[in-house]
Structure 1
């Protein structure tokens, strides 16, 4: 039974009948699993830090409420409003990235967070969806108006964002943004000579990071030759998967969360593998795949270049971030502190991902036989 009647012309009813409900359901399942894993993984970490057992659980639930409200609100927007919001968010995030360099809290030799009371804001999480929207707009305008320097503006903005991230330093986020931006550039129709140039520049950047950033050198060396350094976290994660087997040891019975300091963030997938087994791991992977594939299917008949590039870029970012986290947990990629979308604990990550998913839901709403509300509030049936 449907919640709203098709004759209901309210904004909420319009949203329900035009939003991709399969995508919405997949997101809901993924978020539900994330809350389940936070309940399982975080109490042991909290107790080790001398905090109340459900300290991280309560914080994550609070982050989730704010994030869901933000996701829903953005999903109501029209494409024009999504673009405006993305541009505004991008400008704010640029300022925050600059501010982070001067007043950011230092941890493990990096400045990536701004403390706001008990909350730490990581601006690099929010710059990702914002930069994708701005780049999609620039590429679309360049395609629409050949004389408009959208390509050059996008390249300049990318260089600025990459520079600010390297200054923190945050090589992982830089690589992620580079890969997403390069994919969007390719889909926007860049000449093949640019493809070779971008690949060459990327290789030069990775080699430079390896040569001049000690923590990058250490992580790559340990990945290529585990005997060259400490691989405790990766070894512990792999043992967790082996211990869990097919069906897991049972909820709350895992040991890895008591051994790894990042069990509720970077290595929460290992906790899932130990307590719920390969079955749970496969379910999580399938949900990520369904969200990405479902979103891409919605673009098959899309004729607006901005919408196509924006949604494709946001989905690539979402899928690639999940791939990196899973790859690290499974020891097929060098260690990198990157959250598993909607599963790992983290307020900045949760809110930033919700903003991106809200944009995807807004841009993929069915608009056949519909027109954009002049007030910019969303799609109104006609």
Structure 2
């Protein structure tokens, strides 16, 4: 026991509360994932069991913790330098992902980039979001007086391209990236006039794209626009026969009442699509009640609080923006996921960070936390 404590004390420095919250959510995730994966077994059948999905989740978490452990040692200066070179690389990857236009089980899967030689795929939009946030922090930290025209070329135009390449296949992620970027620019002191112009350009471009697709492209094509329209219509018309997911989600929340049905006792998990990822919060409330749902929300808010504490303690402006830039989008995603489950937002494909089953998104979340912990380590070292 002493050896383990010595190891943890030596190699897991940084904000202890943040370490605790990350570990708490990761360990807890096994319970709802194990319970909700019944849906996958029912859907795909065969020789696959719930334990297969649980082991897969454990593997992803193990890799995630390895990423977290290694990334906490990264010097923030590397993030500063590499973000410039990462932008053109991520643009190429997003373009390849969009062009690839693959289908997975008959569904549009162009948000994943498939590499045939090694037979793996990953979601480029998650990586693109993180790169964009770090790049924003870098640019804002280098300019005392930001020139709007200069920033449109070297800051806003690359961001516009990234959001534009994500949007056709993954509209919800593009919106979250856009909102997060606007928050970062506002916190970084970007001129309000330029921010409003950028906001209008993005909104008009998105509207033009949607209008063009509706007018030109067939309904049965792989584009996502008709799916977005359907989800928005269902959101404003809950009585629609097409709002199956939301009906099941609200039923799960209703059955949970105050203290839930108990771990693993969800009924709706067998009928609710994506109960192990997009709608896992509904299953958590059904099994652990409103009390469990509020506690989970409280933990995410405490993570947000620790992010703000770390950002305000560091005396390097880039580090402050870096912590806020990679930390806020995680909380944004969590709030959006929970808001969808309770019916505050239209249905999207956003997972619950550190809880939902997944791969790329989970690893990017762990890497983001690793960056925050690396800054926290720097603060501790200076204090020592």
User: Does the 8 Å CA contact 1:171/1:209 hold for their aligned counterparts?
Assistant: no
2:31 — aligned with what? Answer: 36
d(CA) in 2 for partners of 1:143, 1:131: 20
- My pick for the range that moved more, 220-229 or 127-136, is 220-229
Secondary structure of the residue aligned to 2:312 is coil
2:271 — aligned with what? Answer: 259
1:187 — aligned with what? Answer: 187
Give the count of matched residue pairs: 366
- Aligned in 2, Cα 1:112/1:369: closer, same or farther, shift over 3 Å? closer
TM-score, length-scaled by structure 1: 0.86
- Aligned in 2, Cα 1:206/1:91: closer, same or farther, shift over 3 Å? closer
Note if 1:335 corresponds to 2:359: no
User: Does the 8 Å CA contact 2:39/2:272 hold for their aligned counterparts?
Assistant: no
d(CA) in 2 for partners of 1:315, 1:57: 27
1:77 — aligned with what? Answer: 74
Secondary structure of the residue aligned to 1:303 is coil
d(CA) in 2 for partners of 1:58, 1:93: 31
Structure 1 residue 13 displacement after superposition: 5.7
Structure 1 residue 204 displacement after superposition: 3.0
- RMSD, matched Cα: 2.9
d(CA) in 1 for partners of 2:267, 2:121: 28
Structure 1 residue 38 displacement after superposition: 1.1
- My pick for the range that moved more, 183-192 or 205-214, is 205-214
d(CA) in 1 for partners of 2:228, 2:43: 28
Q: Among 60, 63, 66, which residue is 2:60 paired with?
A: 63
User: Does the 8 Å CA contact 2:34/2:50 hold for their aligned counterparts?
Assistant: no
d(CA) in 2 for partners of 1:33, 1:209: 41
- Aligned in 2, Cα 1:129/1:222: closer, same or farther, shift over 3 Å? same
Structure 1 residue 147 displacement after superposition: 12
Gaps in structure 1 of 5+ consecutive residues: 372-380
- Aligned in 2, Cα 1:143/1:277: closer, same or farther, shift over 3 Å? same
- My pick for the range that moved more, 62-71 or 205-214, is 205-214
- Aligned in 2, Cα 1:153/1:210: closer, same or farther, shift over 3 Å? same
1:277 — aligned with what? Answer: 289
- Aligned in 2, Cα 1:240/1:147: closer, same or farther, shift over 3 Å? closer
2:217 — aligned with what? Answer: none
d(CA) in 2 for partners of 1:209, 1:104: 17
- Aligned in 2, Cα 1:83/1:36: closer, same or farther, shift over 3 Å? farther
Once the two structures are superposed, the pairs formed by residues 1-382 of structure 1 within 5 Å of their partners are: 16-17=12-13, 19-50=14-45, 51-84=48-81, 86-87=83-84, 90-107=87-104, 108-116=107-115, 119-143=120-144, 149=150, 152-167=153-168, 169-205=169-205, 207-208=207-208, 211=211, 212=214, 213-367=225-379, 370=382
d(CA) in 2 for partners of 1:63, 1:301: 32
d(CA) in 1 for partners of 2:354, 2:190: 33
TM-score, length-scaled by structure 2: 0.86
Secondary structure of the residue aligned to 1:115 is strand
Structure 1 residue 180 displacement after superposition: 0.9
Secondary structure of the residue aligned to 2:143 is helix
- Aligned in 2, Cα 1:144/1:31: closer, same or farther, shift over 3 Å? farther
d(CA) in 1 for partners of 2:153, 2:317: 18
Structure 1 residue 89 displacement after superposition: 5.2
